[in-house]
Amino acid sequence: MNVQTPPAALLPKDYASDQEVRWCPGCGDYAILKAVQKTLADIQASRADTVFISGIGCAARFPYYMSTYGFHTIHGRAPAIATGVKLANPELNVWVVGGDGDGLSIGGNHTMHAIRRNVNVNYLLFNNEIYGLTKGQYSPTSKLGTRSPSTPLGSVDNPISALSFAMGASARFIARGIDRDLKRLPGLFARANDHSGCSFVEVIQNCIVYNDAVFEHFTEKDVAADNQVWCEHGAPLRFGKENEKGLRFDPKSFSLEVVTIGVDGITEDDIQVHDETNRTLGVMLAAMDPPAFPIAVGVIYCDPRPSYEGAVLAQIEQAKGRLEGEKPSIDALLRAGHTWTVN
């Protein structure tokens, strides 16, 4: 008698390709790659049904390092390719990987429309506030005053907030992680994958060569607790080395403010409880920036709605229903509607 045994569970290493990983030593992309591979193992993703799509830049090497399907496309166009893939086969698990320059500069329009349409893809945007592959020019997220080969006297461009951009494009899921936080990144990516619709995750990523330590004011161990607030649905927005600080909503200014529990009569009851379905709260959390505020990490906003490809496929089925019993004719289609004769 034949005894059927279930296939062995896939491990993170099973999602790694045989290609040599080529990033600069110490690059944050290594940690993100490991986190994604662990995520896929945690959810036991089918390698045959998983696709990674990238544009141009350091992050765009990602598909080569995954033992899945993938496309290395052209600058800024990864969301457009991903949309086509999802429409062609909605059953595929599609991930888009790109940097802040690829996704918010030349690809800003494609990113915006993938978010606006709510295409069911997971978009991981690696933000190192610099162009790494082309040798350190300033990017759309670079801070004012950033000195680079293209701005030797300091950038005068106002930087864009990746998450505020996503919220402005009507995102239904936004989250933020940090490259070195390998304990929480896989869970964050799994939450994004569970979401039906466009999941937009900004990953703070250190470029050790061209923009090293630009995030150290909130990522270093000795300051992280005071400058990061973890957003967990239903939990108070508390932070600090002793968990003594928190965010309170001020109805007079209609904004958040940092308070300290035990000072000026502040109690835990005064601390804002995180509601990831509250869009207004999500907008405020996405815009926070040290030193005035801690940076928000975790799932900041999640409010699902029907995905784009689902609506498109429903329209196709509706159109097919109208033609039931009829023989489709290309000639009739070409002659339908407004036509004219040229003499």
Any bridge partners for residue 176, and if so which? 202, 298
> pLDDT tens across 30-89, in order?
999 999 999 999 999 999 999 999 999 999 999 999 999 999 999 999 999 999 999 999
Domain regions of the chain by residue span:
12-235+274-308, 237-273
Q: What φ, ψ does residue 258 adopt, rounded to 5°? A: -85, 130
pLDDT in tens, the chain (343 residues): 677 777 889 999 999 999 999 999 999 999 999 999 999 999 999 999 999 999 999 999 999 999 999 999 999 999 999 999 999 999 999 999 999 999 999 999 999 999 999 999 999 999 999 999 999 999 999 999 999 999 999 999 999 999 999 999 999 999 999 999 999 999 999 999 999 999 999 999 999 999 999 999 999 999 999 999 999 999 999 999 999 999 999 999 999 999 999 999 999 999 999 999 999 999 999 999 999 999 999 999 999 999 999 999 999 889 888 877 777 788 887 888 887 788 8
Any bridge partners for residue 200, and if so which? 123, 174
> 23-35 burial by CB neighbour count: b if 16+ within 10 A, else e?
beeebbbebbbbb
How many C-beta atoms surround the C-beta of residue 317 within 10 A?
Answer: 9
Question: Contact at 8 Å (CB) between 284 and 255?
Answer: yes
The confidence score (pLDDT) of residue 260 equals 97
The confidence score (pLDDT) of residue 342 equals 87
Any bridge partners for residue 201, and if so which? 124, 175
Two structure tokens written together for 329: 């004719």
The confidence score (pLDDT) of residue 77 equals 97
The confidence score (pLDDT) of residue 319 equals 83
Two structure tokens written together for 16: 């790694």
Nearest to 41 by CA among 174, 189, 184, 199: 189
**What is 12-235+274-308's CATH number, 3.90.1570.10, 3.40.50.970, 3.40.50.2000, 3.40.640.10?**
3.40.50.970
For residue 101, give the 3-state DSSP assignment.
helix
The confidence score (pLDDT) of residue 329 equals 83
The confidence score (pLDDT) of residue 2 equals 75
User: What is the C-alpha separation between 308 and 198, in angstroms, rounded?
Assistant: 9
Q: What φ, ψ does residue 5 adopt, rounded to 5°? A: -115, 140
Two structure tokens written together for 289: 């920036």
User: What is the C-alpha separation between 194 and 237, in angstroms, rounded?
Assistant: 23
The confidence score (pLDDT) of residue 269 equals 96
User: What is the C-alpha separation between 289 and 153, in angstroms, rounded?
Assistant: 24
> pLDDT tens across 166-206, in order?
999 999 999 999 999 999 999 999 999 999 999 999 999 99
The confidence score (pLDDT) of residue 1 equals 62
